[in-house]
Structure 1
Amino acid sequence: MAALLGSGQAVAQGNAAKKGSTDISQFTSVEPSTQQQILRIPATHTFQMLVQAGSPYSQAADGVIKEAFDFTGYVPIYSGKSDNKGNSAFGQDHNAQGYLSINHEGSSTATSGVSMLNLDFNQGKQLWDVTAKNAVDFGPVVGTYNNCSGGVTPWRTVVTCEENTPTAPTDSNGDGYLDFGWNVEIDPATHSVKDHDGDGTPDKLWRMGRIKHENIVVAPDQRTVYEGADHGSTNSFVYKYVSDQAGQLANGTLYVLKLSGKIGTATTGTWLQVPNSTPAECSNTTDLARALGATSFNGVEDLEINPVTHQIYFTAKGPGTIYRFTDSGNEGTTVSDFEIFAGNTPTNPNQAYTINYGSGEVSELWRTGNDNLTFDSKGNLYVLQDGGRNHVWLIRASHTPATPAVELFAVTPAGCEPTGMTLSPDEQFMFISMQRPSANNTEVMVDAAGQEVVFNKSTALVIARKEVLGKATKKKTSQQQVAVDVYPNPVSGAEMNVQITHPRPEAATMQVRNRVGKLVLEQAVELKKGVNTLTLPVSALQSEQYYLVIKTATTTTTRPFIKQ
């Protein structure tokens, strides 16, 4: 089926899509629901599938791309070319060509690692071409383990983060450092690990510490780095690393944050220096930080820097909370303005936000599991959820705890966790992955390239507004395809929502049949071109599985649902 995008008609509202805009952050929210088998994004947007797990690498000897896609980092290639007015030319510069680094959060060295894709934007087709798929060789650093999130540096390398380690720590090469639990820097052009000490052998970033790494973010000074540990309720610390030399992460000073009081009331804190001079110290970062009295935040998942205010934001997955603070800089040892920015709080552990999805409003619980964070240049904050309903949220730059400005960008496919994400420099394209959707998903979507996509394995995507992605194929697919979504599913109330994206005005009937095919309900409707949001009365139905059949003169579409 065609991509099922947004709920209802786009209507005028403060943050709704602006006519002619190609800024990906301009949209009307989708209607909240449980995960369906398909991806639901705003009606103004579309997606292109770039790669799925099991796809062969360009070099046959490397095998196939592994499962468990996580951090999805786009690294632009700068050509240095410009037009006769001194402006970067789209077809020659960083918005049109780059590398896509995809982490594999496996549970062994064999299933962990990083894939590096070469991408080119085809201006004529308005589609991304994957010109090469390479596996990063971690053999020289004894492999990697559980590559979770990561970061793209200002000097256009990728840092992949090892979140977990095997039960029995080892030092298999005898260099004094335990094998796993580190940050690792990759040159995307050569898809290889960097050599930091010039001895001809790649190295992991020992001085940044051995912890349950989630991600890193590098400040514009190219020296200050923030990182966090997803280590439960007792060892989930926030760290700052200040490198000795800009653009070089091999050597530097490591700090851990200690608040001046309890979480929720403390507004200031102090950076405490963590010893990191010897292999033994670097290998025992967590124990050393805990001994210093560092504050644990119960599952630190991601830290990012607001490009407008320069404050530091981070998530705590356990309580479902986003915090922010002001740092005193690479030479400073204090933080101020520490506060809860969004999500659940100690006094309101069930925070809900009002979502305007165009044809109505609904209160949606925030829930726990806020995971990856991504800022755009205007200070809008995307939040990807690993838990709850696995949504992709957008918190507008105007948001405050007292005056919320929260929207819903995506309802992701059944069974998956959304991971990534990064934006292209012009902020027209979003690169994101769907990690491990249910293998039982069977519904077919048609992407901007006309490819049939089933979300039943890890999938890396690029999402954009329809004006800039797949324009050449849009007419063809819109004429041929019908998309249907039913929600909530299972349904326990008196009505079920039915959303039908149809290519033309046409009369239709909605039939409900039971498991043996008996007709139990029928309703006539008039479909308009585009998105149709309808309701179906189901209060009289008994608790069991049914099939909704939507028939027109030219199409028949079936969707299963459960009445509770």
Structure 2
Amino acid sequence: MTITPPSPDRQRRLLPLAGPHGSRSWATCFYRCGNACDHPEPNTSGNEHVSEVIENAIRRRAFLGGSAAAAGASALVVSGLVSPAAALGRGQDRPAGGHGRSGRTAATDGWTPVEPNVRDTVSVPSGYRTSLVAAWGDAVVAGAPAFDPYAQTPEGAAQQFGYNNDYIGVLPLDRQHALLVCNHEYTNEELMFPPDTYDSATTKKIAMASHGMSVLKIQRQGRSGSWKRTSPRASSYNRRITASTPFELDGPAAGDARLRTTADPSGRTVLGTLNNCAGGTTPWGTVLSGEENFNQYFDKSGALDSRYTTSYARYGITGTGSRGWSEVDPRFDLTTEPHEPFRFGWVVEIDPHDPRSTPRKHTMLGRFKHEGANIHIADSGHAVAYMGDDERGDYLYKFVSADRFDARDTQAARRRNLQLLTRGTLYVAKLTGDGGTVDPATNRFVPTDGEWDGTGAWIPLTSDTTSYVAGMSVADVLIDTRLAADKVSPTRMDRPEDVEPNPVNGRIYAALTNNSNRGTSYPVDEPNPLGSSNTRPALGAALTRQSGNRNGYVLELAENGNDHAGAAFTWKLLLVCGDPESPETYFAGFPKDRVSPISCPDNVTFDSVGNLWVATDGNVLGSHDGLFRVPVAGPSRGQVQQFLTVPVGAECCGPLLGPDDGSVWAAIQHPGEGGTYAAPTSTWPHTHAFPRPGVVVTHRA
């Protein structure tokens, strides 16, 4: 169904959503992460939390926040949303027009921001239009069957575009053609299958085939920035990777006893990749993808192996997985295959240019709930990968290669570059504030220099030959990276998701999506149709409900001397997201009455002039999630402007800016989540009577 949009002739004021899941339905939390936020944080180390480093800055900003603070500096209850179009006016503080293939680009054009809304469509600024490039069930490889919800098979699904696309990579082949690479994070069976059509085993096999990744050849349409798929019969590149595709384990931990199973006594070949979230395109032309909430895929038929009690607990592996895949594949039964979960939680790399190549899992980059991995080539030539562990209370990481990137366009150089992520050093981040004093009248911390920032250190965990964590071998550190990091006292973070280097200014931007339930215990207001507990336990540090990170932060890190291979950095709090009218929000000092409301930053990307673009997941302000442009330099630094919103129940994923034609790519993940096939809450992209996740490109009309 289509949801009526707000009236365009008046300001729309939307109330905060009830319940701790925000705009996420129970289905989202259940299928994506196994209701991770409904359980205690797995990090019980007691290491310093980011709240202890930056939370007082938010309190300080509330204290000094002028008229907004006067309404109640400690209250984080959002009163409503400001219409960004009305707040910004026309032509106010907007960048000058740029020059792309169409003469203007979304990076530099002065478009009018999209207003917060609850429409069942992709809403974009006037003068732009959106085209659907690929959707669940579209043919990927030659011979794939036409999509028919009543005639799905595991074999057909393994040849079609998978479900819940997240990361987007566009790798040029020539001026007119490119390869579109997407990962498929998870499946929503209640939306995929008509009632009483398939048996349990068949739905599970189709779901397994609908995970993984897709590679499709695409073709440019004219000069507007529009693209479309080419016929699978006309492409030798098209490929589907599923939960059953063989992967090679490489790096120092490959072959370790904990990676060996009945089916793979060598510990070097894994079937499939699961719960792939964000990713990155490497300078050598491959794609990286992060395995995130893999713990939820494993169940048990009996007792668990007591040798791994501590490890399992640190990764949230309980044997109560919701998928039930052991019904069709015994490797997902922890009782009989206790080592199988050690084979997931890695960064994977695929070569889209070689469809016959074996994708790899890089043990050197550590095992945790990877959101993704993004590469910067340091001035020294070393490849540096930035990563976040997307769990409440977990850490930021980086990897520095032992060898140097070879920029020559030769086959020999490419072969060497394909080995860059197998040797090097893995680090974890510790943040330190820059000092200040406590105001005795308010009991709030006031930074010495008036700006909340500080320094940081990259603490080494292991190289490919030497562990720096006492009592742990190299393989121990790489397989149980969370346990290793706990021992060296890094900073616990609020769900560090995408962590990416800006190719223009060299700084690193980290989205800390949220942590709304630090120290809280309250009932869930919305019904839970999937049967999980309806009450959340007390979690995290003993902070008040008001001091929780409800809407998320964006951190800006600068490596000292721009040395990305170094061990020291500085950091600033760029954004404290939320309703601009709320006293705790902060937009790098930009006037708060001239920004779009933004909640729950998830993925980030950059355009050709260095603007930060932020995609959101779980907006708690009452509007749908979307994509936002944020300049990071000049007088407009911190000016959040909303470029698009996504349909009912959806999340905005995989943002990507076309560097030469002004195209803006987005993955529309889980539209209609919270409904069912028989009773949908969304029909986007409006090709059927039920929703289909898909990839869109927005371009000049």
Shorter-chain TM range is 0.5 to 0.7
Query: C-alpha distance in 1, partners of 2:613/2:554?
Result: 12
2:598 to 353, 366, 389: 366
Aligned CA distance change for structure 1 residues 418 and 118 (closer, same or farther; 3 Å): same
- Counterpart of 1:56? 139
Mapping of residues 87-236 of structure 1, within 5 Å: 92-93=174-175, 96-106=176-186, 109-123=208-222, 127-131=226-230, 132=232, 133-136=238-241, 138-140=245-247, 141-167=270-296, 178-191=342-355, 194=358, 202-221=359-378, 223-232=383-392, 234-236=393-395
Q: 1:271-311 CA deviation, whole Å, 9 max, x = no partner?
A: 11112544333111111111111112210111122223211
> Any conservation in 2 of the 1:307–1:378 contact (CA below 8 Å)?
no
Letter paired with 1:217 = N
C-alpha distance in 2 between matches for 1:339 and 1:397: 12
**Structure 1 residue 349 displacement after superposition:** 3.7
Instruction: Return the offset for 1:13.
Output: 3.7
**Residue 66 (str. 1) matches residue 162 (str. 2):** yes
Residue from 562, 573, 576 that aligns with 1:340? 573
Q: Give 1:498's aligned residue.
A: none
Alignment of 1:411 onto 2:645: yes
Q: Report what 2:396 is aligned to.
A: 237
Equivalenced residues, count: 427
Q: Could you tell which deviates more after superposition, 220-229 or 165-174?
A: 165-174
Comparing 112-121 and 214-223, the one that deviates more: 214-223
The alpha-carbon deviation at position 223 of structure 1 amounts to 0.9
* 1:285 and 2:481 correspond: yes
Structure number with the higher helix fraction is 2
List per-residue Cα deviations over 1:231-285 (Å, max 9, x = no partner): 21x2233334334342321211101111234999551111111125443331111
Pick closer, same or farther for the CA change 1:270–1:355 going to 2, 3 Å.
Answer: closer
What's the secondary structure of 1:431's corresponding residue?
strand
Corresponding residue for residue 377 of structure 1: 608
> Is 1:434 aligned with 2:668?
yes
Q: Which runs of 5+ in 2 are unaligned?
A: 10-84, 145-154, 188-206, 233-237, 248-269, 299-311, 313-330, 406-416, 436-446, 465-473, 515-548
Q: Determine the C-alpha separation between the residues in 2 that align with 1:324 and 1:6.
A: 37
Distance 1:330 1:374 in 2: 18
Q: Which has the higher contact order (CA 8 A, sep 6+)?
A: 2
Counting aligned pairs with the same residue, the percent is 24
Q: Deviations over 1:93-132 (max 9, x none)?
A: 3xx2111111111167554200111111143997423123
Deviations 1:368-424 (CA, angstroms, capped at 9, x unpaired): x101101112111110000114121111244679x6422110121111000002223
Matches within 5 A, 1:230-309: 230-232=390-392, 234-246=393-405, 247=417, 248-261=420-433, 267-275=454-462, 277=464, 278-309=474-505
Runs of 4+ aligned residues of structure 1 deviating over 6 Å after TM superposition are 4-10, 169-177, 352-356, 443-446, 452-455
* Equivalent position amino acid for 1:292 in 2: V
Counterparts of 2:638 and 2:404, CA distance in 1: 40
Instruction: Give the counterpart letter for 1:22 in structure 2.
Output: R
1:22 counterpart = 2:104: yes
| TM superposition shift of 1:162 | 0.3
Q: Is the 8 A contact 2:225 2:662 kept in 1?
A: no
Quote the residue 2:507 is aligned against. Answer: 311
**Cα distance in 2 between the residues matched to 1:52 and 1:409:** 22
- Counterpart of 2:285 in 1: which secondary structure? coil
Query: Aligned to 2:490, what secondary structure does the other structure show?
Result: coil
Structure with greater strand share of residues: 1
Quote the offset at 1:12 in angstroms.
3.5
Q: Flag the 1:76–1:6 CA change in 2: closer, same or farther, 3 A.
A: farther
Give the Cα separation in 1 of the matches to 2:94 and 2:224: 29
Q: For the structure 1 residues 100 and 454, does the alpha-carbon distance in structure 2 shift closer, same or farther, using more than 3 Å as the test?
A: farther
Deviation at 1:180, TM superposition (A): 0.2
- Structure 2 residue identity aligned to 1:378: V
C-alpha change, 1:330 and 1:393, in structure 2 (3 Å) is closer
CA contact (8 A) 1:224 1:243 kept: no
Residue of structure 1 equivalent to 2:618: 387
Distance 1:142 1:445, change over 3 A: closer
Deviation at 1:36, TM superposition (A): 1.1
Bigger mean CA offset, 303-312 vs 21-30: 21-30
In structure 1, what is the Cα distance between the partners aligned to 2:508 and 2:7? 32
Range with bigger deviation, 234-243 or 137-146: 234-243
SS of the counterpart of 2:371?
A: strand
Instruction: Write the distance in 1 (CA, Å) between the matches of 2:432 and 2:93.
Output: 39
